[in-house]
Structure 1
Amino acid sequence: MRSKRKLLLLTSLVSWLWLVQRYLRNHQAQELGLSDWFDPRKRPDVVTTTGWLAPIIWEGTFNRRALRDHYARRNLTVGLAVFAAGRAAAGHLEPFLRSAKKHFMTGYRAVFYIMVDDPHRLPDLEPGPLQTFKALPLAQDRGWHDLDLVRMRQLGELVADHVWGEVDFLFSAAADQVFQGDFGVETLGSSVAQLHAWWWFRAARDFPYERRPRSAACIPSGHGDFFYDGALVGGTPLRVLHLVEECLKGVLQDMKHGLNSTYESHLNKYFFLHKPATLLSPEYGWDAVLHPPAQVRYVKVLRHPKAAW
């Protein structure tokens, strides 16, 4: 009887492994090679590829038709989580959602996770075709003083409690932004980082990394790749959850040592250690107080100046 059970278990294990192998083969066969849709030579005026060969997405570097043909064959759903509390909910959430309805993943299924502290502040908007709105309460967290850290913590809870099985990719965005152009599947990747508009055109030695050796977010002088913007992160749910867990682990470690470190410092340390698969150029996160230089041909996401909050 025992040997029969072992045989059944072995048979089940072999069948399971075969199914996994088959899935991986099919998945890999369906994958689109980078050179099939991305051509860095189209933009010789900017850096388009990282030292670890990840693409930096600028207007003109990607083939929309190749991407559209590829993703049309896949059962794709993309999530967008937006966190809005207090004045952000009152002043920024409605224009954010109106613009996202128009420009975010047009033609694909999209789930908008709208995290608000007061449900009465939700704008009276209906989702567009292929879109779903999910309003979720934004819990009060008195133990954290940095609103960005609160957003990161609740992003982890959102992924664990709601996102699994619902979306293939997830973006998390601050509400003080407006989509101005197509934010499409060229932005997808297992781990997606947004390059910071303020620091893109400056020397790496000037980046405001955390330099205190005792901090978990420390990037020593002479090291670092880019400076990333915390207003937008993305990737697969699993990679987003890993980012949240590692950043919060670093924050808690710093708190134990009496260090007050920022969310953006820990985000940059994370991407220094775990290189992103896709980098979005400053076109996807331009600051409204800056005049776009010639290299920024098409501002796709515009961030409100902080003075206007």
Structure 2
Amino acid sequence: MPGDAPGRTDVQTMTSWSVPVVWEGTFDPVLLDSLYQAKNLTIAATVFAVGKYIRFLKKFLETMEQHFFTGFNVHVFVFTDQPNEVPKVKMASGRQRTVKTVPTLNRWQDISASRMLLVLTLIEEELRDYADFIFCLDVDSEFHGRWGTESLGDLVGVLHPGYYKSDRSGFPYERRPISKAYMAPEEGDFYYCGGAFGGNLQEVERFCQTCSINFWDDRIKGIEAAWQEESHLNRYMWINKPSKVLSPEYLWQDFLARNPEIHLIRFSGIVKNYAEIRPNV
């Protein structure tokens, strides 16, 4: 759908609530970086490498060092059940990594769902005093291009690469009214991916707290949303609109053909055999 930002007329560049949809060609990276450099920001990032997903961590960290907020203060928190297997990746000045040990879980759905609570705890106990923004990213992914200050906002969602061209009726929202993630047929703006989201600490804290409460409310009722945390994320972002929306450049899927409007893939989920890497399917 055509937008109205300079440089792109082939894609939607503004939401119905008047916030940017960020695509290559819709921002000036040099200008943005110069504005934010003076603020001496610290960007936190979380990544979960549990079970066989540990195999993806090295490439994730190496490519992150090359493309994710280069030239800024970055603190990466690696959550893993195998702390001794975390690879040693050299980091530039102003960048650091902390390893957090978490228990091994037998269901990938539980691994996925536990992330919200762990991120919430991290913000409340460690990040309040020094980090400005936080991004939560999937480990089975790699960076290929710049991910920087153009992505900053109070609450930031990423358009799912499988559904950004779909009509709302085709979005895989949770459709059972009993679930806290329920989306009625007339509800929803976009379908956001669960593998990348972020924002300032206050907004991400509120988001993680709400999603954790809703997830456990569902569990007490004996149900699980269709796509676990992603379903709850989509419900939350329908009610609490993101202040910035990132295009599918920010989490493409490597098995998809690259569409003409995708001028640059910045971050992408790699092709993998889920039956082999997940503890259950």
TM-score in terms of structure 2 length: 0.92
User: Over aligned residue pairs, what C-alpha RMSD do you find?
Assistant: 1.6
- Of 7, 19, 40, 1:54 maps to 19
User: Hey, what does 2:37 align to over in structure 1?
Assistant: 72
- Structure 1 residue aligned with 2:74: 110
Q: Which residue of 2 aligns with 1:45?
A: 10
Pairs aligned (count): 270
d(CA) in 2 for partners of 1:252 and 1:266?
A: 11
C-alpha deviation, 1:238, in angstroms: 1.4
Code of the aligned partner of 1:242? R
Is the contact between residue 79 and residue 102 of structure 2 (CA under 8 Å) also seen in structure 1? yes
1:92 alignment partner, SS class: helix
1:90-118 Cα distance to aligned partner (Å, 9 max, x none)? x1000000000111101111111111111
- Secondary structure of the residue aligned to 1:251 is helix
Q: Which amino acid aligns with 1:87?
A: K
More helix per residue: 1 or 2?
A: 1
Equivalent residue runs for 1:83-232 within 5 Å:
83-89=48-54, 91-140=55-104, 145-232=109-196
Gaps of 5+ in 2: none
3-state secondary structure, aligned to 2:174: coil
Q: What residue in structure 2 maps to residue 33 of structure 1? A: none
Contact 1:83 1:115 survives alignment (8 Å)? yes
Name the SS of the counterpart of 1:201 in structure 2. coil
Identity of aligned residues (%): 32
Matched, 1:241 2:200: no
The aligned residue for residue 264 of structure 1 is 230
Query: Which amino acid counterpart does residue 17 of structure 2 have in structure 1?
Result: W
Counterpart amino acid of residue 243 in structure 2: A
- Runs of 5+ unmatched residues, structure 1: 1-38
Look up the equivalent residue of 2:202 and give its one-letter code: L
Partner SS for 1:40: coil
Number of the residue aligned with 1:298: 264
Structure with larger Rg? 1
Q: Give me the TM-score of the superposition, normalised by structure 1.
A: 0.84
Kindly indicate whether the alpha-carbon contact (under 8 Å) linking 2:51 and 2:104 is maintained by their aligned counterparts in 1: no
Choose the corresponding residue for 2:241, options 267, 275, 287. 275
**1:135-168 Cα deviation digits (max 9, x unpaired):** 1212446799432101222111111222111210
Q: Which has the higher contact order (CA 8 A, sep 6+)?
A: 2
After TM superposition, the structure 1 stretch with the greater mean CA deviation from structure 2, 133-142 or 282-291, is 133-142
Q: Which runs of 4+ in 1 moved over 4 A?
A: 140-145
Rounded Cα–Cα distance in structure 1 between residues aligned with 2:119 and 2:98: 14
SS of residue matched to 1:279: strand
Q: Distance in 2 between matches of 1:192 and 1:134?
A: 24
Stretch deviating more after TM superposition (143-152 or 44-53): 143-152
The 3 A distance-change label for structure 1 pair 243 and 210 is: same
Distance in structure 1 (CA, Å) of the matches to 2:64 and 2:83: 19
Q: Deviations over 1:63-109 (max 9, x none)?
A: 122212211221211111111111111x1000000000111101111
Separation (CA, whole Å) in 1 of partners of 2:213 and 2:114: 13
Asked if structure 2 preserves the Cα contact closer than 8 Å seen for 1:144 and 1:150, the reply is: no
